[in-house]
Amino acid sequence: MFIKTTHLNNYQNEEHYAFHTYVEELLDDPTLPVPKIGQQRAVYKSLLPKERQALDKVKKSAFTARLDAANDARNKPIIGFYKVSAGMLNHFNPEVSAAAYRVSVVNDKFKGITRLPKERKTVAIHKYLDALKAIMPDLVLLGLADWYPEIEAQNNGYVNLKKSQFAEKDEQITLKMKEVRVEVDDAYDTIKDRINAYVTIDGDAEFGSFITKLNNRIYSFNLLLAQREGRKKKDDDEPTEPTEPTDPADPTEPTDDTKTKK
């Protein structure tokens, strides 16, 4: 039994700190002796206060708050468009319902787009807009063409704000957080790799209880990542690339069902 993998770079800042805080608690638990990693443990524990300080500064960053608000603002027209267009799938006019179906095919391809990490969302929205532009006659027929420039404008608002990171202090705070996260992750990986190496050589008798508890928490975090990104948990407990909820009326609600159109 080995310590499982989790993609720490996909964690949001608070999730990242929470995960490492839990690992620290396990390492300090007297009922879970973890031998042979004394030096690595000390390095790891020494870095966590730095991450806490960096996280506190990020939370207080005015630019971060503005960026979050702009990100929320670009979600709203996408969610609205999904709901309105889905409501026309059962229109009595077959030409309208057919156009609505073609729109739903595009929406299905991009379901969950509002829950993607910010930078991946920016790329995805550009692709989404290209896909909608290709079926613009359908949007015109449905009377939904004005949603396109609204989605585009809100996304451009976010992009322009992101480019205007004129607040040098905020930039330094964000950079510091990234640097600290890398340091903490490297220290954690050193511990994980060392324990896994001992397990390979000697078995897991010395580390079994610790590994079991840590893997349970890793499973929980991986599941959280998978749910946020809209994909069912893979059997290997690895977080996956996001898929999307199947109800085009609400791209933010995950579901395990799949929608078919005959």
What local confidence, expressed as pLDDT, does residue 247 receive?
Answer: 42
Sign of CA dihedral 194, 195, 199, 205: positive
Spell out the domain ranges in the chain: 8-61+168-228, 63-163
What local confidence, expressed as pLDDT, does residue 127 receive?
Answer: 96
pTM comes to: 0.50
Q: pLDDT truncated to tens, each residue of the chain (262 aa)? A: 999 999 999 998 899 999 999 999 999 999 988 999 999 999 999 999 999 988 887 776 667 788 899 999 999 999 999 999 999 999 999 999 999 999 999 999 999 999 998 889 999 999 999 999 999 999 999 999 999 999 999 999 999 988 876 554 555 666 688 899 999 999 999 999 999 999 999 999 999 999 999 999 999 999 988 888 775 444 344 333 334 433 434 444 433 343 444 3
What local confidence, expressed as pLDDT, does residue 228 receive?
Answer: 80
What local confidence, expressed as pLDDT, does residue 6 receive?
Answer: 95
What local confidence, expressed as pLDDT, does residue 256 receive?
Answer: 39
What local confidence, expressed as pLDDT, does residue 57 receive?
Answer: 79
What local confidence, expressed as pLDDT, does residue 150 receive?
Answer: 97
